[in-house]
């Protein structure tokens, strides 16, 4: 029997990731404010806990998958939080995408309690969470990483230790900058094609095998051609990541003008009430400017 582990945060990403751990044979203790999600995991074979503290009391390895820095700090530090129940030697793996400085802050607080924390944000969205093919970028001590690497490979196809604590989230910010700008470039190109009277679906098929082809293009072009903006990965979450990217860049004196530009495009979509759209919905900004809607005919 594999070691019992904890999982806190059963949202769009956390739910399928925890289910993959169950399929891999791990005994799982789960916790979330969404009790329906908890019951779904219990039906799949997990055990439920009423608080992060209880999860920590019952397990030695804990995964968290939460929306942003304040949520992670609350789950780790508050009354009935992880550190209230964690034993010395516990490994906490935060899969959330948060500010690198918060990861480093939490690492130091956990260390005082004898708990080792890794920051291990993921990339790939819901589809790759479901089929366990996520890219997982990890920051923290190598010995702790080696202790959990096998488990991480049950959720991801790529698991890389990129450096010290906070490095995982720096890497994720770089990832999110590239993804956002790829989607923006695709959007500009497909709207141009449509406005010029060329079928954007045929444009996509023609360019996907060349230098312009990418994982982002193949993931998002079919969705936007069908006008399918169901997340996926919500625009509001990408805004959060890009705000963290700008804050981090400004702290260390790195200009990121293209990231600032795409962030403002997303803020315009937020003002338009589209923050719950998949980030492929960025194309709607360009459609509005060009007075055209793309999409498959028929």
Identify how many contiguous H helices and E strands the chain contains and give both numbers. 14, 9
For this structure, is 297 an active site residue? no
Is residue 12 within 8 Å of 231, Cβ to Cβ? yes
- Does 160 share its domain with 227? no
- What's the pLDDT score for residue 296? 60
Domain termination site, one of 117, 142, 164: 164
Report how far residue 228's alpha carbon sits from residue 213's, in angstroms, rounded to the nearest whole number: 20
- Does 55 share its domain with 88? yes
Strand stretches in 99-235, DSSP E = 116-119, 122-123, 134-139, 156-163
Query: How many Cβ atoms sit within 10 Å of the Cβ of residue 46?
Result: 24
- What's the pLDDT score for residue 129? 95
Query: How many Cβ atoms sit within 10 Å of the Cβ of residue 33?
Result: 12
The chain-wide mean pLDDT, for the chain, equals 95
Domain termination site, one of 164, 193, 211: 164
DSSP output for 159-193: EEEEESTTHHHHHHHHHHHHHHHHHHHHHHHHHHH
The CATH number of the domain holding residue 105 is 3.40.50.720
Q: Give 3's pLDDT tier (boundaries 50, 70, 90).
A: low
- Does 94 share its domain with 211? no
Q: Which domain holds residue 263?
A: 170-290
Domain termination site, one of 126, 142, 164: 164
- Does 105 share its domain with 208? no
- What's the pLDDT score for residue 2? 54
Mean pLDDT score, 48-60: 97
pLDDT tens track for 182-238: 999 999 999 999 999 999 999 999 999 999 999 999 999 999 999 999 988 899 999
pLDDT tens track for 91-106: 999 999 999 999 999 9
Do the bridges between strand 122-123 and strand 28-31 make them parallel or antiparallel, or are there none, so unpaired?
A: unpaired
Is residue 103 within 8 Å of 123, Cβ to Cβ? no
Catalytic site residue from 15, 19, 53, 172: 172
- What's the pLDDT score for residue 1? 41
User: In the structure encoding, which two tokens stand for residue 19, read together?
Assistant: 């289910």
User: In the structure encoding, which two tokens stand for residue 270, read together?
Assistant: 């937020």
Percentage, residues of the chain above pLDDT 90: 95
| pLDDT of 298 strictly over 80 | no
- What's the pLDDT score for residue 71? 96
């Amino acid at each position: 029997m594999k070691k019992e582990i904890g999982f806190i945060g059963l949202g769009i990403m956390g739910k399928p990731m925890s289910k993959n751990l169950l399929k891999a044979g791990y005994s799982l203790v789960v916790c979330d404010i969404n009790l329906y999600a908890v019951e779904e995991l219990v039906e799949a074979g997990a055990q439920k806990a009423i608080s992060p503290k209880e999860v920590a009391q019952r397990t030695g390895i804990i995964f968290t998958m939460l929306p942003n820095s304040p949520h992670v700090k609350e789950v780790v530090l508050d009354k009935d939080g992880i550190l209230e129940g964690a034993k010395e030697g516990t490994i906490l793996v935060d899969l959330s995408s948060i500010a690198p400085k918060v990861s480093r802050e939490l690492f130091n607080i956990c260390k005082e309690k004898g708990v080792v924390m890794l920051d291990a944000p993921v990339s790939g969205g819901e589809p790759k969470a479901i089929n366990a093919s996520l890219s997982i970028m990890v920051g923290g001590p190598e010995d702790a990483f080696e202790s959990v690497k096998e488990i991480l490979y049950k959720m991801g196809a790529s698991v890389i230790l990129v450096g010290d604590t906070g490095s995982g989230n720096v890497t994720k910010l770089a990832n999110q900058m590239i993804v956002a700008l790829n989607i923006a470039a695709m959007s500009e190109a497909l709207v141009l094609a449509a406005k010029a009277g060329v079928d954007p679906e045929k444009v996509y098929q023609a360019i996907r095998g060349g230098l312009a082809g990418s994982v982002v293009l193949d993931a998002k072009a079919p969705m936007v051609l069908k006008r399918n903006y169901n997340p996926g990965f919500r625009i509001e979450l990408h805004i959060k990541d890009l705000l963290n990217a700008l804050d981090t860049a400004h702290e260390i004196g790195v200009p990121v003008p293209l990231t600032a530009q795409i962030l403002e495009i997303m803020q315009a979509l937020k003002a338009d009430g589209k923050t719950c759209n998949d980030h492929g919905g960025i194309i709607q900004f360009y459609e509005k400017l060009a007075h055209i809607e793309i999409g498959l005919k028929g």
